[in-house]
Amino acid sequence: MSKILIIEDDAAFCQMLQKFLIRNGYNVEVSFTGEDAKSKFKESSFDLVLTDLRLPNYDGMQLLTDFKEINPTIQVIVMTGYAEVGSAVEAMKKGAYDYISKPFTPEDILMQIKSALNEEIAPKPTKKSDNTKNSQSMENVDHEGEVITGLSEASLKLSEYIKLVAPTDMSVLITGESGTGKEVTAKAIHDQSKRKEFNFVAVDCGAIPKEIATSEFFGHIKGSFTGAVEDKIGHFEAAHKGTLFLDEIGNLSYGNQIQLLRALQERKIKRVGSTKEIKVDVRIVTATNEDLAEAVEQGSFREDLFHRINEFSIETPSLEDRYEDLMLFANYFLKKANTSLDKQVQGFSQDVVAIFGKYHWPGNLRELQNVIKRAVLLTTGDVVEKEALPKEVYKTKEADSSEENFSKADYEKEQIIKALKQTNFNKSKAAKLLQITRKTLYNKINHYKLDL
């Protein structure tokens, strides 16, 4: 049985990966820090190392060099963020076998491991969702994501809009704060459309370096540039007859916006290095947590493209706006965490329910999900207790005397003005800086009657 060492500081992710690999017949050890990994590596012999490059208090590249010094034949696969391709290439120069960009599917990592260990690779299933790999993450290892509809007015309205627009071919712009379920909404539109038998291709425009965006969108042919070692289809072709979901569309460079607009208008694309036009039939769904209309006014987003992608718009509500659904989501995330971490936590203590109700959840559903997953990991009893929650969830709004409120208000006002100045009065960016939602920022601007 081959022995694998995983080094990753995200404990929950690490354990999920460990379980998945154990289920696939490997002997797996994990380390959350570089120091620990090094001592484990010295003590016992491994066939393969799977390591993150960014580790607390340890340079991942140095760790790779150390491993290679101890055992020059060790196979190392590095896990990187999409934007870190440069360091991945450097890692390979230092002897890493390969790199894999996060998020990745379980099948992808399994294939790479098998290939590194020279094991036989089973043929990939040919189901339609194969091309949707960008939209999947390790979250899908243990649990097929369900979509919770919710019963609050805001949730019902969201479902109604999805139902209404899904069967049409209209392009949809989904706006909403970070973590409110924009991608889930885009997928629901696809699943309820006549395109559902074809691919849903999700692309995070914020994570694609602008130099490679053209080839990512439209593909390339072998030899068209250094590194184009074989023909590659782009996201447009992959989404043919299906749905192309462009997340964080506001992050596209101006040049890429022009290319995108042209492809949408002409419904034809050309791969980089090729003169052949290829017809594509894609429905476009986009998402942003920026104020695109403001970006248009400021000249950083093209107005023609804005209208082209915004035939219909949907706003995903913040968790604050769907508070009636909070425990519905909490219980669902508990079930999901139990499944992925192999735990049997039954519920939440009264204290925790009260804390959840008071907290304003700036990171919305994603934050709720992360808080619950972490809490499930830390819980040894039947129910999640306050101690398993991160402090910031229950340490808010505790000081409530009017004097404190007064000085707090002054301080808050000052911070808001400072953040707005710092971001050139871009409210989305200022809200991000202040770690509050855009809506909360607008409310506070009104509340303090700030004249901007």
Ligand X SMILES: Nc1ncnc2c1ncn2[C@@H]1O[C@H](COP(=O)(O)OP(=O)(O)OP(=O)(O)O)[C@@H](O)[C@H]1O
For binding to ligand X (CB under 6 A), which residues are involved? 145, 147-148, 176, 178-184, 247, 287, 289, 316, 365-366, 369
199 vs 428 by CB, closer to ligand X: 428
Q: To the nearest whole angstrom, how small is the minimum distance from the Cβ of residue 289 to ligand X?
A: 5
89 vs 184 by CB, closer to ligand X: 184
Q: Give the CA radius of gyration of the chain.
A: 24
Closest residue to ligand X in the complex (CB): 181
Cα torsion 348, 352, 356, 359 to 10°: value is -160
C-alpha to C-alpha distance for 81 and 60, rounded to whole angstroms: 13
Q: To the nearest whole angstrom, how small is the minimum distance from the Cβ of residue 367 to ligand X?
A: 9
Q: To the nearest whole angstrom, how small is the minimum distance from the Cβ of residue 337 to ligand X?
A: 11
Q: To the nearest whole angstrom, how small is the minimum distance from the Cβ of residue 328 to ligand X?
A: 9
Cα angle 35, 39, 43; round to 5: 170
237 vs 247 by CB, closer to ligand X: 247
Q: To the nearest whole angstrom, how small is the minimum distance from the Cβ of residue 253 to ligand X?
A: 19
10 vs 281 by CB, closer to ligand X: 10
- Burial string for 136-171 (b: 16+ CB within 10 Å, else e) reads bebbebbeeeeebebebebbeebeebbeebbeeeeb
180 vs 215 by CB, closer to ligand X: 180
233 vs 377 by CB, closer to ligand X: 377
C-alpha to C-alpha distance for 153 and 318, rounded to whole angstroms: 12
- Give the list of residues 6+ apart from residue 1 with CB closer than 8 angstroms, or none: 25, 26, 27
Q: To the nearest whole angstrom, how small is the minimum distance from the Cβ of residue 333 to ligand X?
A: 8
- Give the list of residues 6+ apart from residue 385 with CB closer than 8 angstroms, or none: 349, 351, 352, 379
**Contact by Cβ (8 Å): 438, 431:** yes
Cβ burial of 86 (10 Å; 0-12, 13-18, 19+) is exposed
- Max Cα distance, the chain (Å): 71
Q: To the nearest whole angstrom, how small is the minimum distance from the Cβ of residue 161 to ligand X?
A: 13
2 vs 316 by CB, closer to ligand X: 316
